[in-house]
Structure 1
Amino acid sequence: MDALGLLSLRYVRLSVPLTILLLLIYFLSVQLPDVPLYGCNENGKHCNEKNKPVEKHPGIENNQVNLEIKPEKTDHFFEHIRHCEGKDFQISRLVSAFESCVTVNNEILLKEYLSGWSELVRFMNSLGTVFSFISYETTKKMKILRDYQSGPHAIEYHTLQSMVKYELKNHIVNFHEPPSDETPSGCRTLLRLHRALKWLELFLFKLANSHDNEKTSDLCIDTYQYALARYHNWFVRQAAVVAFLAMPEKRELFEIVCVKDKDEAKLVLTRTVHSLSKVYNITQKVYEKHRMLDLP
């Protein structure tokens, strides 16, 4: 195929998902729904997907990733990772933020947690326009939490645990569908980030352990369908899957995380996944304890 043909093929590859994304943003007024699938109807009956068992995912047991490289064996991790000159996303900042947000008592510091998410937004933006609708919604949720942190009850939003305790005690958490003009509670807002964190954690895990012939788009779609799709309506799910077909190739992703080869990528991504997984698992237990995993 000549140069013109290759250019045309790349244009089609990018234009189709981008067109769908523009339609998605138009129809949803740039607002991804937070409605879980079990709120839908099929043949006049509730889907009840909440009660369906989640299928086992390769390499995952009880929502925890089985890592081949333990953190204690990578004490010099930050000495080997390179700073990517001229790039907005730095994976060292991502790992540092999520590792520093966990205290010795396994509390989650919200300021550091949101710093980690700021870096994840930069990562998603580095993947191209196809991720803009996700990073946009993520940024809005981060702003809600930061407004609580700078508000009159800022001290109550120092950690995840203090936020949960305060909002439950003062009946701020709405266990029913909240009015559209009501600012969501901190617990509900963080739950949306929490769900997305599992998706990104699994995607990076599969990327680190993928074979040369595995496409990044397939990895992304697979982990999205496993971890996040059930919280979106049918239209969003279809648009997301099509959009992910324009994911950068593995070589481009390695450049984004600033690694030179597959072996280095596995070391860096495994450490990154471990930092995300630890935060996710602590948060999951807190929400399970207070029966808030299905907040509408």
Structure 2
Amino acid sequence: MALLMEHQFRQLPADRQVETRPFLEAVSYLPHFFCLGPTVFAPIKADFSGNLTKMKTVYDSNPGRFKTLQHLLEAEKEMHGTEWPKVGATFALMWLKSLRFIQAFLQSLVNGEKDDLNPNLIRVNANKAYEIALRRYHGWFVQQLFKAAVFATPYKSEFLRALSKGRDVKEEDCLEKIRKFLINFSATVDAIYEMYTKMNAEVDSTA
């Protein structure tokens, strides 16, 4: 599980503020995750990488002012007025919906959810993650593309082997490391969603 465990997310402080630089550094390694299933994850990876680049550009313009993600959103709200939150890093971070997709997908795996007739397939996990994280933001055409692409997902054994960088690791050992990764990762993703709800920064848009 080296691919995930080598780049752990930080434990959140008591105020649940997410520091921007460590967050961007940890998130920058996640596009490698999408290479594990290139067909089904390709459009998600492209969208993810583009929005991550936008966030880094804004942060690098004034690291001191944008120390936490909340500082960044508050500053952009002040700077952009009525155009906010549909601009800048605020909008880019909102569209990193694939963070929730990854969270839901990995959580489904460790929860043992599977197709009883085809237990080595991960379509059930991918579909559940899509329903939770992305479906509401996609129009009918994109939804159909995902349904078609999900049939190209690798077998669970292949996926876990790829996460372990090709090493033969017992499935339960892999899943246990995913559970550990999810502790800080899920807390971070949940904190971001809570922040957007609290600041009324969520934009319900369909692509």
Alignment TM-score, normalising by the size of structure 1? 0.61
Deviating more after overlay: 109-118 vs 283-292: 109-118
Pick from 249, 269, 272 the counterpart of residue 181 of structure 2: 272
Query: Which 4+ residue blocks in structure 1 deviate beyond 3 angstroms?
Result: 102-105, 211-214
Q: 1:99 aligns with which of 3, 10, 13?
A: 10
Query: Between Structure 1 and Structure 2, whose CA radius of gyration is higher?
Result: 1
2:83 pairs with 174, 186, 194, which one? Answer: 174
Tell me the CA shift for residue 261 of structure 1.
1.9
Deviation string for 1:211-257 (max 9, x for gaps)?
57432022101220222111011111110121111001010011022
* 1:196 counterpart letter in structure 2: S
Give the Å deviation of 1:295.
5.7
Label 1:225 to 1:173 Cα distance change in 2 as closer, same or farther (>3 A).
farther
Which one-letter code corresponds to 1:138 in the other structure?
F
Secondary structure at 2:42's aligned position in 1? Answer: helix
Partner of 1:190 in structure 2? 93
Contact 1:201 1:276 in 2 (8 A): yes
SS at match of 1:144: helix
Note the aligned Cα RMSD (angstroms): 2.2
Cα deviation code 1:96-144 (max 9, x no counterpart): 2x225x3454211122212222221101112224322211111111111
Question: Which residue is equivalent to 2:51?
Answer: 141
Query: Which aligned pairs between 1:207-218 and structure 2 lie closer than 5 A?
Result: 207-210=109-112, 211=114, 213-214=118-119, 215-218=121-124
Q: Decide which of 18, 33, 41 is 1:131's aligned counterpart.
A: 41
In 2, the alpha carbon distance for the partners of 1:257 and 1:107 equals: 29
In the alignment, what sits opposite 1:205?
A: 107
2:186 maps to 1:253: no
- Verify the 8 A CA contact 2:4 2:163 in the aligned structure 1: yes
Note if contact 2:77-2:84 (Cα within 8 Å) is conserved in structure 1: no
Q: Calculate percent identity across the aligned residue pairs.
A: 21
Once the two structures are superposed, residues 162-216 of structure 1 have per-residue CA deviations (whole angstroms, 9 ceiling, x without a partner) of 111111122356358x6xxxxx3211110111x2211110100111222574320
Residue matched to 1:290: 199
Please, what TM-score do these two structures have when normalized by structure 2? 0.85
In the aligned structure 2, how far is the partner of 1:190 from the partner of 1:271?
Answer: 24
CA distance, structure 2, for counterparts of residue 125 and residue 167 of structure 1: 33
How many equivalent pairs are there? 198
**What is the distance in 2 between the residues matched to 1:173 and 1:166?**
13
Going from structure 1 to structure 2, the CA distance change for 1:172 and 1:109 (only over 3 Å counts) comes to: farther
Unaligned runs of 5+ in 1: 1-80, 84-89, 179-183
